[in-house]
Chain A
Amino acid sequence: MLKFLVFAALLLFAAPAHAMHISEGILPLPWAVAWYVVALPFVALGIRQLNALSRQDLSYKPLAGLMAAVVFIISCMPVPVPTAGTCSHPCGTGMAAILLGPLASTVIASVSLLLQALFLSHGGLSTLGANIVSMGVVGSLAGYLTFKGLRAMGASLAVAAFFAGIQADWATYLVTSVELASGIRGAEPFLPLLEKIMLAFVPTQLPLGILEGAMTVGMVVLLKRKRPDILVRMNVLEAREVKGNG
């Protein structure tokens, strides 16, 4: 009971944290290296795909760079979280994964994370691997697979985008919690610490996931209304679907 009260107090303090990325230096060296090893194959596959695509279309690299800038800006934008009474910020990887696919989105997230680590101290160079795994790999894959899965089941573009945004955000924070718990636990048992960290994320991330879903819907709906050609070019929609809508 006592511990619960202390923990509740910590949660109140934790609310304003812009706890998007794992900060520089939190992870001990073996864990930092391990997460780099996990991230590397996905980044390598993404780079291979981007290399192939940019050979076919010279505008692909600038496009990927600009999308990385968009992800950077979105994840720097303070957004009010009603339940916590404070601000946090979305990831933006679900949106990138829907448009460019999960592998390219992993590279885009990596670029965005590198820039944030270098110039804003959001995340870090030693924790870049861990942040790529949570936000780039898992966030992108969760968003992309949810979107494609729901679309295959006949869900509308907006519904699929909404759940893709939510899944990308929540999956990112689930993995971030695992990374943090494994990195800082010391001699403490893993699972109780994981529970505490996940609970600490709940007040901001639960509503923020929904907000990220709404943001993804807003983006997709706007593109469909104003520039459906982009959605067709990125294989999000088929040309006949756009024509069908008039």
Chain B
Amino acid sequence: MHQHLDHNGACFLSLIDGRVKLLTALALLVMVLSAGGWLFPLVTAGLCITVCRMRGVPIKTLLLRFAEPGFIILMIVLLKLFFTGKSPLFTIHLAGLEISGYREGLSEGLAIGSRITGGVAVMATLVVFTPFTELMAALAWLRVPRVFIDITIFAWRYLFLLFDDAKVIYSAQKNRLGYSGYRKGLRSFGTLTGTLVIKAFDSSQSITTAMVQRGYDGTMPMLKQKPFRSVEVAAGCAFLMCMGMLWSI
């Protein structure tokens, strides 16, 4: 699940202010979504994937990231190809039946597919080059309510602990044939969920006690934002202007 890299590495994108990266990514996402054709989203995706690869992100990680969206793209292209449009592109004769794919459908499907590819690539790049705490600080700077940020930080912090607990319980249940039939499986899954909820309740109490002893007053500490560096802002603007020109073509 940890897809971001060691941010201490010497990469200029990792060193840029999280706010600049977030705003640039959001602007790029808006451009991808509002692009008329499929070229701009695909160019954006290509650029993002190249940057990630140059940073050393393994191909397997990128493939994992694109696995689910890739399947959705395939489904949408097929759905659109066979059900949208009037100008037949090809006709398949299958067991005496004629099935047509339509030009308009293919074009619409590919446009949606390219938007998905572009959007996923932009988000992947943002996450790869921005540590979680920096991302949360950038969201707080964008006036996302503090309670929302605090809950997200708690969720992220304890997600891995609960996930490990869930894995232990799941394998224990599996070893005791807890998933050997549908009835047993359903019961085991319910027990697993219930146990996680109990752990969440108990942990919330002990975490609060420990944090109060260390001065917790209801607000989580947040990264202190430094003033914007004009070079970074200028670089972000220049990049967006270039992409904007490409978008308008």
**Chain A interface (Cβ < 8 Å from any Cβ of B):** 1-3, 5-7, 10, 13-14, 16-19, 23-29, 32, 43, 47, 50-51, 54-55, 58-59, 61-70, 72-74, 77, 79-80, 82, 92, 95, 99, 107-108, 110-112, 114-115, 117-122, 124-126, 184, 186-188, 193, 196, 200, 211, 214-223, 226-227, 230
Q: For the complex, what is the distance from the CA of A50 to the CA of B80, rounded to whole Å?
A: 43
CB contacts (< 8 Å) of B124 on chain A: these are 121
Contact across chains for A65 and B68 when beta carbons are under 8 A apart: no
**Chain B interface (Cβ < 8 Å from any Cβ of A):** 1-3, 26, 29-30, 32-34, 41, 65-66, 68-69, 71-72, 74-76, 78-80, 82-84, 97-99, 108, 112, 115-120, 123-124, 126-127, 135, 145, 147-148, 150-159, 162-163, 166, 182, 185-187, 189-201, 203-205, 207-208, 211-212, 216-218
Provided the pairs A65-B155, A214-B190 are in contact, do residues A82 and B72 lie with their beta carbons within 8 angstroms? no
- Count A-B contacts at CB 8 Å: 257
- Contact among A32, A47, A58 for B145, CB-based, below 8 A: A47
Contact across chains for A25 and B151 when beta carbons are under 8 A apart: no
Contact across chains for B33 and A66 when beta carbons are under 8 A apart: no
14 A-B pairs within 8 Å (CB atoms) are namely A13-B78, A24-B123, A58-B217, A62-B154, A63-B204, A64-B151, A68-B155, A69-B158, A111-B151, A115-B155, A118-B127, A121-B68, A121-B124, A222-B198
CB contacts (< 8 Å) of A14 on chain B: these are 75
Q: For the complex, what is the distance from the CA of A227 to the CA of B200, rounded to whole Å?
A: 12
Q: For the complex, what is the distance from the CA of A222 to the CA of B196, rounded to whole Å?
A: 11
Contact across chains for B117 and A66 when beta carbons are under 8 A apart: no
Residues of B contacting A: mostly: helix
Provided the pairs A3-B82, A69-B200 are in contact, do residues A222 and B194 lie with their beta carbons within 8 angstroms? yes
Contact across chains for A215 and B1 when beta carbons are under 8 A apart: no
Closest 9 CB pairs of A and B: A218-B190, A65-B154, A25-B119, A222-B194, A66-B200, A24-B119, A63-B204, A59-B208, A68-B155
- Contact among A28, A68, A73, A80 for B185, CB-based, below 8 A: A80
Provided the pairs A54-B147, A69-B200, A115-B155 are in contact, do residues A218 and B68 lie with their beta carbons within 8 angstroms? no
Q: Apart from A10-B78, A14-B75, what 5 extra A-B contacts exist at CB < 8 Å?
A: A23-B69, A29-B33, A63-B201, A68-B151, A188-B83
Provided the pairs A25-B33, A47-B147 are in contact, do residues A73 and B208 lie with their beta carbons within 8 angstroms? no
Contact across chains for B72 and A19 when beta carbons are under 8 A apart: yes
CB contacts (< 8 Å) of A99 on chain B: these are 197
Provided the pairs A66-B200, A69-B162, A119-B127 are in contact, do residues A61 and B150 lie with their beta carbons within 8 angstroms? yes
Q: For the complex, what is the distance from the CA of A200 to the CA of B154, rounded to whole Å?
A: 36
CB contacts (< 8 Å) of B155 on chain A: these are 65-66, 68-69, 72, 111-112, 115
CB contacts (< 8 Å) of A120 on chain B: these are 1, 65
Contact across chains for B158 and A65 when beta carbons are under 8 A apart: yes
Provided the pairs A23-B116, A70-B162, A223-B194 are in contact, do residues A10 and B189 lie with their beta carbons within 8 angstroms? no
Q: With both chains docked as a complex, state the minimum distance between the C-beta of A111 and any C-beta of chain B, in angstroms.
A: 5
Q: With both chains docked as a complex, state the minimum distance between the C-beta of B215 and any C-beta of chain A, in angstroms.
A: 12
Contact across chains for B99 and A5 when beta carbons are under 8 A apart: yes
Contact across chains for B123 and A110 when beta carbons are under 8 A apart: no
Provided the pairs A62-B207, A69-B159, A221-B194 are in contact, do residues A184 and B112 lie with their beta carbons within 8 angstroms? yes
